[in-house]
Amino acid sequence: MDSSPSLRPDKVVDARGIPCPGPLLRLIDEFKNLAAGDIISVYSTDEGVKVDCRAWARKSGNEFLGDFEREGYYEVAVKKIAGEM
């Protein structure tokens, strides 16, 4: 997806340099601390983060907002819909 300058996450997880499934596990761990409606972004150098986070968001009932190519890394964004995690 293209970059989204209007995306303003409530939480950013910097998982650059961490191999799969590390970025997804960090997302899941931090997600527990978010309120419904919050947006979390994960920065990762592992391209698999795009597929992993999209699948997890769908399975968990949350909203995958997109994946974005940044300079040297990927950003994925998920919005918390479910109240519990």
Per-residue pLDDT tens over the stretch 34-65:
999 999 999 999 999 999 999 999 999 999 99
H, E, C per residue of 32-84: CCCCCCCEEEEEECCCCHHHHHHHHHHHHCCEEEEEEECCCCEEEEEECCCCC
Domain covering 11-79 assigned CATH 2.60.40.10 in the classification: no
User: What is the domain partition of the chain in residue ranges?
Assistant: 11-79
Percent share of the chain, pLDDT over 90: 87
Instruction: Work out the pLDDT band at 7, boundaries 50, 70, 90.
Output: confident
20 catalytic per annotation:
yes
Q: What is the pTM of this model?
A: 0.88
The catalytic residue among 12, 20, 28, 39 is 20
- Distance from chain centroid for Cα 62: 11
Q: Which tokens belong to 17? A: 């340099």
